[in-house]
Structure 1
Amino acid sequence: MIATQGTLAWSCASFIYQIVAIQTGVTIDNLGAYVGLYCAMQFVATFYAFLGLKFSGYLNYFMIFWVGIGTVIVMLVPVIMARDHLQNAKYVFTGFINQTGWENDGLAFLLGLLQAGWCLIGYVAPAQLVEGTKRSDITAPRGIIYCVIGSIVQGLILMIPTLFAIQDVDALLGSSTPLATYFQQTTNTPLSVFLMVILLVAQFGSLANNALAIAQLLWALSRDGVIPFSKFWYRLNRFDIPHRCLILELLIVVGIILPAFGSQVYWTAIMSTAVICVNASYGLPLFCRIIWKPKLKLEGPFKLGKLSLPINYIAVIWIIFFSVILSIPQKMPVTPENMNWTSLMIGAVVIFSLFFWSISGKKFYKGPMQNIHE
């Protein structure tokens, strides 16, 4: 989630500078400028998270409207504006372009799943936030299902018109601001800025939600004593906000960007790690159930019944397969700049976790703590 938070803030900064490029024609690619705006985005998102779940609810009601209407606008405007120069159906539904450097088209297709992977990890935030809602035992699984189905439907609705409207694929692949380039190819300058603003607001909404979700998660982990100095972080302010965890999160997400000044390859590795880390974290409880508790009967107001274990197996097999695919370099020939450093970053996290467990965690951890008395 930390890696995801960093990627969301970086995307917000990128969207802002793409808007500047469209409006002024000046492309800003200075790393310091990006890092500064990245930090500003993190500060604003943290400040909003300090307002708590009530204001997060206001944001989410607004986001339902904004993303719903925004999707339709972003989908239709380029198609309407470029109606005299649209691609044909054969290009959209059967065309295949492989510019990865890999000779095998099947592998190129699998590498393209990275984008789909990004679209299907957002439900981690509502799953964390839902702990503070009424009947979370029902609203949490429903929310996850709605998010997945909504992402798939929205993705298809958005993808097909976009493919019809694309004008010059090579220009998009060679552009440092591909979204801005796409909108400029299909519309005019004012409309391009307008469409980029729609995407920017939607991305910032995700950033703000994720900030609060991470704080909630850190607070739960500190409750269970599974992060260093847990007693210090396990505090709520008078508005029941995990304020210390929010500050800790802000320090971490700002801290992890700083080594990018030494090597931008490092930051590329952080961003490429996000999808596989989140998917692996989803799969760990499912994997543990298969290995140690295959006959476990999960009772509750929301359950999958006899389908539970088969779905468990399918999910674990898919996540393992997906994790391998996402660890393959995206392009050939492989250089330090385009190398996929995901396995290295995940390995570092695993080594740290095992080290902390061996010197401290295994001595006291007994499972999730009950805090109903508080």
Structure 2
Amino acid sequence: MSDPVSPARTRSRRAVEPVTLDDDATLHAMGYPRKLTRRFRAFDNFAISFTIINIISGIFSSFGFGMNAGGPVILVFGWIAVAAMVLFVGASMAEIASAYPTSGALYFSAGKLAKRHRGAWSWYTGWLNFAGQVGGTAATGYAAATFIQAFIAMQWPSYEATPQRAVLITAVILLVQALANTFTVQLVAVLNRISVWWLLIGLVVIVVALIALPSHHQDPSFVTHFVNNTGFNNGLYGAMLGLLVTSWTFTGFDGSFHMSEETVQATVNAPRGIMRAIGYSAVAGLVLMLALVFAIRDYAGAASAEAPPVQILIDALGTGTAKFLLLIVIGAMLFCGLANMTSNTRQIFAFSRDGAMPGSRWWHSVSSRTRTPVKAVWLAAACSLVLVIPGWWSHTAFTAVVSINVVGLFLAYAVPIFLRLRLDTFQPGPWNLGRYGKLVAAVAVAWILISSVLFMLPQASPITAGSFNYAPIALGVVLIIATVWWFATARRRFQGPVSYGRPDEVAAMDLI
């Protein structure tokens, strides 16, 4: 017979059990009417962030950089270390997402968590987030275009891959992704579900091929092999730069946060989506990283190739199999770009809803037919294309786009986490870290600052126009524009997230 449960124990157990609030009631309590359709289940919310992180796209895009900045030891053990740090960032963001499940996500929570100058904190967070998201959509589209050209050149050797053609292919990709996001949220949700299985099945196919087909693999001790081809004499500095491979991959998991207003039981499903996306990506990514490392044959030849991972596939598996696997990689990149644009659109919608963008009334309008912010979709696509256009004549311009993506996003992540860290009256949601919340937040902020500095330091020597790291300039331009605009007009009209009234008042404004 089980022991009787005392009333005191019952009350204590109830006190610690999370309570899932009604989605609409939570939104109304934050001062917003419901304008978007809630069609995203827990899996759909997870799928957004998992697809944006996209280990296949991230690893294949940055693997060559890691081969020259640290080599196998940093590619493998750096992945483990950085993934652990990103889990701290994700856990802190997830706790905040549970407390403030809105499309405004980072900028909204920054405005609510700030003790003073709420409008300014919210303003800078929103513009960093906007710049980072647009940069991510642009960078993913351009990366897909680059790999598409690599595939075409393998299939038809007479084809000449050029920067101009890469820009044109990127424009077509952005057009198709915008059209997909223009239709119903349900279509996007279906595509994101497909993308998860594409990533997982594609991962298995690539890993199994790299394990079973090559006649030779590197010895286990190869994971301790260190390489410093950065041009810098300091090996520690070269190794630290190699950590950027993992940092490049783990961006965009705020997508689950931005989809909160379209997610069922968002106070628990949005934070769980963030954590699951990071955790599963960390494990699956390590498997893919090991498979690529042990399949390397000619290290120097692959490291100096235009697309090192593609060269590894050709050396280990032959051209035919390499082309097939390259199609999987391209598909993963296209899915990644689609999810990135979806998240980007929701951030624009929410930021405009609070009057923080030029033409805000236009961009936060919702289609009466599809219940999606269609105009915001096309703004995201147009801004992404503008960032890609300099690639027509400049190879280094695209580096700045990637830098805007990573530095902009992670600094936007850091602001609300930092504000939560110093706020003693923070009211957590159903998903929370309990007494460890501040400790986790402190580690998260420290890591973001370290990784952001790494992204802005020189990454190759000698430093020339072709190797110069334009990240500080790109970040500076964004911050200067935001600052000038803030002091010129915005500080008098933008006070942070807007409340449309009392819960009963905004409930009457619901459009669905």
Q: Aligned in 2, Cα 1:212/1:44: closer, same or farther, shift over 3 Å?
A: same
Query: C-alpha separation between the residues in 2 aligned to 1:192 and 1:264?
Result: 26
Aligned equivalent of 1:288: 419
1:24 aligns with 2:156: yes
Alignment partner for residue 455 of structure 2, among 293, 310, 326?
Answer: 326
TM-aligned CA deviation for residue 246 of structure 1? 1.1
TM-aligned CA deviation for residue 107 of structure 1? 1.1
Query: C-alpha separation between the residues in 2 aligned to 1:172 and 1:312?
Result: 39
TM-aligned CA deviation for residue 282 of structure 1? 0.5
Q: Identity percentage over the alignment? A: 25
TM-aligned CA deviation for residue 248 of structure 1? 1.2
Structure 2 counterpart SS, 1:110: helix
Aligned equivalent of 2:474: 345
Aligned equivalent of 2:44: none
In terms of mean alpha carbon deviation, does 98-107 or 261-270 score higher? 261-270
Aligned equivalent of 1:78: 210
Aligned 1:92-241 pairs, distance under 5 A: 93-238=223-368, 239-241=370-372
TM superposition score normalised by structure 2? 0.70
Alignment partner for residue 361 of structure 1, among 490, 500, 508?
Answer: 490
Alignment partner for residue 51 of structure 1, among 147, 169, 183?
Answer: 183
Question: Does the aligned pair in 2 maintain the 1:5–1:253 contact within 8 Å?
Answer: yes
Structure 2 counterpart SS, 1:118: helix
Alignment partner for residue 14 of structure 1, among 146, 149, 164?
Answer: 146
Q: Deviations over 1:50-76 (max 9, x none)?
A: 123211211122122111111111112
Query: C-alpha separation between the residues in 1 aligned to 2:298 and 2:409?
Result: 33
- State the structure with bigger RCO (CA 8 A, min sep 6), 1 or 2: 2
Question: Does the aligned pair in 2 maintain the 1:15–1:200 contact within 8 Å?
Answer: yes
TM-aligned CA deviation for residue 283 of structure 1? 0.4
TM-aligned CA deviation for residue 225 of structure 1? 0.8
Question: Does the aligned pair in 2 maintain the 1:222–1:230 contact within 8 Å?
Answer: yes
- Counterpart code for 2:361: K
Query: C-alpha separation between the residues in 2 aligned to 1:90 and 1:207?
Result: 37
Structure 2 counterpart SS, 1:257: helix
Question: Does the aligned pair in 1 maintain the 2:231–2:462 contact within 8 Å?
Answer: yes
Q: Aligned in 2, Cα 1:52/1:370: closer, same or farther, shift over 3 Å?
A: farther
Aligned equivalent of 1:61: 193
TM-aligned CA deviation for residue 171 of structure 1? 1.6
TM-aligned CA deviation for residue 78 of structure 1? 2.2
Query: C-alpha separation between the residues in 1 aligned to 2:158 and 2:259?
Result: 40
Alignment partner for residue 409 of structure 2, among 270, 278, 283?
Answer: 278
Q: Deviations over 1:314-369 (max 9, x none)?
A: 11111111111111121111111111110110010001111121122211223212
Aligned equivalent of 1:300: 429
Query: C-alpha separation between the residues in 2 aligned to 1:26 and 1:118?
Result: 33
Aligned equivalent of 2:438: 309
TM-aligned CA deviation for residue 131 of structure 1? 2.3
Query: C-alpha separation between the residues in 1 aligned to 2:188 and 2:364?
Result: 21
Q: Deviations over 1:211-268 (max 9, x none)?
A: 1111111010000111112122121112111111111112211122223334332222
Query: C-alpha separation between the residues in 1 aligned to 2:158 and 2:314?
Result: 14
* Structure 2: gaps (5+ residues): 1-132, 501-505
TM superposition score normalised by structure 1? 0.95
Structure 1 counterpart SS, 2:228: coil
* Structure 1: gaps (5+ residues): none
In terms of mean alpha carbon deviation, does 251-260 or 9-18 score higher? 251-260
Larger radius of gyration: 2
In terms of mean alpha carbon deviation, does 3-12 or 246-255 score higher? 246-255
Q: Deviations over 1:170-219 (max 9, x none)?
A: 22222123232121111122211110111111111111111111111101
Structure 2 counterpart SS, 1:285: helix
- Counterpart code for 1:323: S
In terms of mean alpha carbon deviation, does 351-360 or 338-347 score higher? 351-360
Query: C-alpha separation between the residues in 2 aligned to 1:198 and 1:44?
Result: 18
RMSD: 1.5
TM-aligned CA deviation for residue 24 of structure 1? 2.4
